[in-house]
Structure 1
């Protein structure tokens, strides 16, 4: 069974040529509330991260894969497994389709389907979970349509800067979704 190749996208390991794309994504402040990032990343730190991305998920407890278009081979996003717990056979999953023009085309759904097949067949996981801000309707729909079930809400879980209001903080609820495999 081929688990990392779909009809319109494929998942692959990070490569050195991904440096600029990952640096751009990681330093996009509009995405920081999703990744809980609060400081920018240097080119050097991203280069080091990519250089060590070959390490085994069993060692580093995470795996980041590039989501690439099957026709253009262009990197269009990232999908991460994190907090990998082999004893309890579970991991968290996060996904990002970078450009707005690539969203809503089914790439995220296909990437999520591929990672679900991968963790079932290769990692033998029992479950995946996702933490999604409650106002991220597109992500909630994506994960719900993929079989994830809402199991709880963490109230005022994430401190974020207010949209359009400089230096004004607010808190957002985070919804916890689970998928038993």
Structure 2
């Protein structure tokens, strides 16, 4: 079992490891390493109002020992239409244990009950079978495919668009 919690200043080392994992750069639109200074600045402002910064990052922690295993993000929040993009990132060493599924379920509940959003959406590369399966299993509806949407080292990749009405 997992919980979602707000970012803390003590999360610096965890975020540094997560953000600087080249294995996830392809799904996080990152091209270069992130400095500790940049992450320290980010953490200093991470508790800002969701309606102001239009994003929310929560840490995925295990209930039994409070260990950080990933992050759950809401981004590109649109206050008029009450929707936000969703992303889940789990440390490579912690994958395939159901953490992403639990985190996405909790994030959906938070978006519905606390933030009172109307819908969530996600963009997933066609080569990311684990994420495609996750969104399908958790009730997201496939609403289209964007051609050559994601640039990778191997070339252009199509992306599947998902939508979930809360």
TM-score normalized with structure 1 length: 0.89
1:73 paired with 2:73, answer no
Q: Which runs of 5+ in 2 are unaligned?
A: none
1:32-181 matches, cutoff 5 A: 32-100=25-93, 102-162=94-154, 170-181=155-166
Q: Quote the Cα distance in structure 2 between the aligned partners of 1:93 and 1:80.
A: 6
Note the C-alpha offset of 1:123: 1.1
Alpha-carbon displacement from aligned partner over 1:79-119 (angstroms, at most 9, x marks no partner)? 0000011110100000011133x222211111111111111
Q: Which runs of 5+ in 1 are unaligned?
A: 1-7, 163-169
Q: Superposition RMSD on alpha carbons, in Å?
A: 0.9
Q: Quote the Cα distance in structure 2 between the aligned partners of 1:99 and 1:159.
A: 22
Q: Quote the Cα distance in structure 2 between the aligned partners of 1:138 and 1:83.
A: 23
* Greater than 6 Å deviation, 4+ residue runs: none
Q: Quote the Cα distance in structure 2 between the aligned partners of 1:160 and 1:99.
A: 19
TM-score normalized with structure 2 length: 0.97
1:3 aligns with: none
Count of residues in Structure 1 that have an aligned counterpart in Structure 2: 166
1:10 paired with 2:3, answer yes
Larger radius of gyration: 1
